[in-house]
Amino acid sequence: MTYEIDIAGRKIGSAHSPYIICELSGNHNGSLERALALVDAAAETGCDAIKLQTYTADTITMKSDRPEFFIGGGPWEGYGLWDLYNEAHTPWDWHEALFERAKSRGVTIFSSPFDETAVDLLEGLGAPAYKIASFEMIDLPLIAYAASKMKPLILSTGMANLAEIEAAVETVRKYGNGQFVLLHCVSEYPANINDANVRVVPDLGAKFQCPSGLSDHTFGTAASIAAVALGGCVIEKHFTLARADGGPDSSFSLEPAEFTALVRDCKDAHRALGSVHYDTLGSERGSKTFRRSLYVVADVKAGELLTKDNVRSIRPGLGLPPVRLWDVLGKPAARDLVRGEPLTDEMIELPLLQGEL
């Protein structure tokens, strides 16, 4: 069974081309001009949607000198949470300009809200959907508030166990909102390809009866393409103008040419899935000429027996099918046969059947 939802008029489900989300995150490096350039570059990749993150340092954490408020390891080692989010956040007064730029480029834009005030801001901008980040997957009050707006929800499941995913899904459905997608995600930055486990993607869809996909933090595009091949409907990947420019998520983000290739290859992978059938395709019919068939490979006099020395299975395919070789060997030629002729039944002298004169 297939499931689908609709975001801004675009059908999302296994029967449709995969929905590719270009995640801008904090790679604007604190510059609105760069953020607008990211939107322009994202639009050029052919992505289906552009996604922001809507929070401030104070709505996502608090400033504290306690050790648990500092990051150990990974690309943000040594950062205090408040300082990291203060540096990486997309200022709320930029959102309207970014939404307008995306709309002018014909690309859907929405965001990940991290608290109720962010949902309110995005509602005011007419966001057509909401993305719940992996770290907020257990924040059921936030999920409930977003679900209550009756917009499609995309939920990343990084770190969440099955019970936590079930609780989130039940919360969405409790509000009568049946439009949601679950994204398998490995919340490691970058994620190791050996941990990608993209077989989870179709399992999520089957377990929760919804479209499913992948929020991909691995290097490259292999995991995303594999997810599509397994039936993934949505792919989310981080985007930057240039990794060399730095930025909070730049090390595991794709550059424009790479993201363009991701979009192309994911959509090609979906087209390649096709359907299950065993009929000859119209595009194959011309090639049937070059299958093997029985040909006369040495001159044969009328009445001479056909043998493996004068009849062989070769290309092209204009003679009798190769399986007839067993029938024709040892039979006399009905006329003189010339090397290079395709063998046909009329060229073989058949024995008289009992009762025939």
> What SS3 state is found at 25?
coil
Provide the pLDDT for residue 281: 77
Provide the pLDDT for residue 294: 98
Angle among Cα 86, 90, 96 to the nearest 5 degrees reads 150
* Chain center to CA of 294: 45
- Asked which of 210, 245, 273 is the last residue of a domain, the reply is 273
Provide the pLDDT for residue 352: 52
Range of the domain at 288: 282-347
Strand pairing class (293-296; 311-314): antiparallel
Closest CA to 297 of 282, 312, 279: 312
Instruction: Say yes or no: 252 and 165 in one domain.
Output: yes
- Asked which of 227, 246, 273 is the last residue of a domain, the reply is 273
Q: State in Å, rounded, how far the first CA of the chain is from the last one.
A: 64
Instruction: Say yes or no: 195 and 60 in one domain.
Output: yes
- Alpha carbons 172 and 355: distance in angstroms, whole number: 82
Torsion of CA 189, 191, 192, 194, to 10 degrees: 160
Provide the pLDDT for residue 1: 66
Strand pairing class (10-13; 4-7): antiparallel
Q: How many CB atoms lie within 10 A of CB 234?
A: 27
Provide the pLDDT for residue 247: 85
Instruction: Say yes or no: 188 and 269 in one domain.
Output: yes
H-type helices in 196-240, by residue range? 200-208, 222-229
Mean pLDDT by 10 residues, the chain (357 residues): 91 97 95 98 98 97 95 86 93 98 98 98 98 97 97 97 98 92 95 97 97 97 98 97 91 96 98 88 82 97 97 96 96 97 94 52
- This prediction has a pTM of 0.88
Provide the pLDDT for residue 5: 97
Provide the pLDDT for residue 6: 97
Number of domains in the chain: 2
- Asked which of 254, 273, 292 is the last residue of a domain, the reply is 273
Q: Which structure tokens are listed for 125? A: 């901008």
